[in-house]
Amino acid sequence: MGDGAAGRVLVVNCGSSTVKLAVVDPDTGERPFAGLADRVGTPDASVRVGTTTRTPDDTSHRGALAVALEELPDDVRSGLVAVGHRIVHGGARFTRSVVVDDDVLAELRGLTDLAPLHVAPGVAGIEAALSVLPDLPQVTVFDTAFHQTMPERAYRYAVPEDWYAEHGVRRYGFHGTSHRYVTAVAAEVLDRPLESLRLVSAHLGNGCSAAAVLHGRSVDTTMGLTPLEGLVMGTRSGDIDPAVVEHMARRLGVSAAEVVALLNRESGLLGVSGHRDMRELEAAALAGDAPAQLALELFCYRLAKHVAGLTVALGGLDALVFTGGIGENSTGVRARVQELLAHLGVRADEGANAVRSQEARRVSAPGSPVDVLVIPTDEELVIARDARELVGAAR
Ligand code: ADP
């Protein structure tokens, strides 16, 4: 054991206009430092660390990161052993977390063609960290990597073969870091080996996906080439007949790309009800707002339908895991989904389901043939653990 301050990892999560930073202790999960940069790349960029808010002169990801790290206390800085980056898309090349070298960086830059909105901010974050913290090894952790164990029947679309071979049209899946973490914790809560379990995890945040995890490996998931496929989400439609794209492009007189942008940003809960946020949506539904009630029912029905579908990949179901802001907090969504899955053997415990807690816990009735668990996700902890393991600093 070190002195408690060593062996920590700076976790960097770059979005298109945000940078989230946290120093994480991989053993205890402690976070002695956290920062957030908003509106990166615009003149209004700001960096917040604790109660301090600063305006960077250089408003790029690099500038924001540099300003945030100026607030890092020396004793925390000196205990860092690595920087861990969240990268949304790792393509088919990255099946696990890796230490960044010139080859990895070149491959990542190549991936920006596959998922420009998703990979470019991550690459900007690595470049920023390399220039601000040149002495520390950098590790990338991919949202897609966990799903690289999917069999061909799950990752292929039924489209002309050359779309796959020449143009890379296949399913990847996302939220892999979260699905991996919560299914590992599920095995602990159930006190059974992960290698014996058939699990479905439902990560329900602003983006939503479910994954079938057989004996610890992802065998299918609801998101596809991009995060648009699958469940109803805050602003994304999820599954839709692709002919809708051509139909609406013609009706609205816009390009296919513009319709896809509308399916990503103006659809889902927001499109149906005017509320993208589940808390607001539930309040409106409770007050009798019919579009809000419909959006809620669409959300729960589509989710239950996908969970049932994913049991085909598993040959049964031992436990369903809820996580993400909605999965962890919305007792109403959990109750409705459990009701819709009663025929699979899901038996809810209303009392347990209604309890608010940040602990990993069981919310199904004792003896239910399918266990239902709520497990708070912690992607930063996984990134910190992977990074420290890969740089060989574990003690
Ligand atoms: P992100 O995907 O951006 O990480 P989160 O995992 O934080 O998002 O999830 C955000 C969603 O969780 C929002 O729809 C929010 O309304 C919902 N949420 C948070 N707290 C609650 C709550 N107490 N009840 C219902 N929904 C909640």
The domains of the chain, with CATH numbers, are 4-142 (3.30.420.40), 191-379 (3.30.420.40)
Which residue of 88, 279, 336 sits with most ligand 1 atoms within 8 Å of its CB, as the best mutation to test the pocket? 279
For residue 179, count CB atoms less than 10 angstroms from its CB and return exposed for 0-12, middle for 13-18, buried for 19 or more: buried
Q: Which two tokens stand for residue 22?
A: 């946290």
Q: How far is Cα 360 from Cα 373, in angstroms, rounded to an integer?
A: 7
Query: Residue 222: left if φ>0, alpha if ψ -120 to 50, beta else—which one?
Result: alpha
Active-site residue, 349 included? no
Task: Report the alpha-carbon angle 114-116-118, nearest 5.
Answer: 100
User: What does residue 329 show for φ and ψ, rounded to 5 degrees?
Assistant: -115, -25
Q: Is the pLDDT of residue 2 over 50?
A: no
Arithmetic mean of pLDDT over the chain: 94
Is 223 flagged in the annotation as binding? no
Residue 144 near residue 172 (C-beta atoms within 8 A): yes
Distance 337 CA to ligand 1 centre (A): 17
Mapped onto helix, strand or coil, the DSSP state of residue 274 is coil
* Ligand 1 atom index nearest CA of 276: 14
Query: Residue 253: left if φ>0, alpha if ψ -120 to 50, beta else—which one?
Result: left
Q: Is the pLDDT of residue 4 over 70?
A: no
pLDDT in tens, 318-366: 999 999 999 999 999 999 999 999 999 999 999 999 988 889 999 999 9
Distance 75 CA to ligand 1 centre (A): 34
pLDDT given for residue 317 in this prediction: 98
Q: How far is Cα 51 from Cα 115, in angstroms, rounded to an integer?
A: 35
HSE value, Cβ hemisphere, 13 Å, CA-based, for 79: 20
Is 328 flagged in the annotation as binding? yes
Distance 232 CA to ligand 1 centre (A): 14
Distance 92 CA to ligand 1 centre (A): 30
Which residue of 118, 143, 206, 334 sits with most ligand 1 atoms within 8 Å of its CB, as the best mutation to test the pocket? 206
Q: Which two tokens stand for residue 49?
A: 């660390």
Q: Is the pLDDT of residue 116 over 80?
A: no
Most distant pair of Cα atoms in the chain: their distance: 65
For residue 267, count CB atoms less than 10 angstroms from its CB and return exposed for 0-12, middle for 13-18, buried for 19 or more: buried
Distance 230 CA to ligand 1 centre (A): 18
- The letter for the amino acid at 338 is Q
Residue of the CA atom closest to atom 4 of ligand 1: 205
pLDDT given for residue 394 in this prediction: 45
- Between helix 102-111 and helix 116-132 the angle, nearest 10°, is 150
pTM score of the predicted model: 0.95
Q: Is the pLDDT of residue 102 over 70?
A: yes
Which residue of 13, 178, 277, 278 sits with most ligand 1 atoms within 8 Å of its CB, as the best mutation to test the pocket? 278
Q: Which two tokens stand for residue 394?
A: 């574990």
Q: Is the pLDDT of residue 56 over 70?
A: yes
pLDDT given for residue 112 in this prediction: 77
Task: Report the alpha-carbon angle 144-150-152, nearest 5.
Answer: 120
Q: Is the pLDDT of residue 1 over 80?
A: no
Q: Which two tokens stand for residue 159?
A: 């489209």
Residue of the CA atom closest to atom 21 of ligand 1: 329
Say if strands 361-362 and 319-323 run parallel, antiparallel, or are unpaired. Answer: unpaired
Q: Which of 143, 220, 371, 378 is catalytic?
A: 143
- State mean pLDDT over 59-87: 93
Q: Which residues line ligand 1 (CB under 6 A)?
A: 205-207, 234, 277-279, 282, 324-326, 329-330
Q: Is the pLDDT of residue 3 over 70?
A: no
User: What does residue 100 show for φ and ψ, rounded to 5 degrees?
Assistant: -75, 125
Q: How far is Cα 383 from Cα 180, in angstroms, rounded to an integer?
A: 11
Task: Report the alpha-carbon angle 394-179-272, nearest 5.
Answer: 145
Is 13 flagged in the annotation as binding? yes
Q: Is the pLDDT of residue 395 over 60?
A: no
- State mean pLDDT over 43-60: 92
- State mean pLDDT over 144-162: 98
Residue of the CA atom closest to atom 7 of ligand 1: 325
Distance 279 CA to ligand 1 centre (A): 7
Q: Which residue spans within 57-148 are E strands per DSSP? A: 80-87, 98-99, 138-142
- State mean pLDDT over 268-285: 98
Residue of the CA atom closest to atom 23 of ligand 1: 329
pLDDT in tens, 176-190: 999 999 999 999 999
User: What does residue 38 show for φ and ψ, rounded to 5 degrees?
Assistant: -120, 160
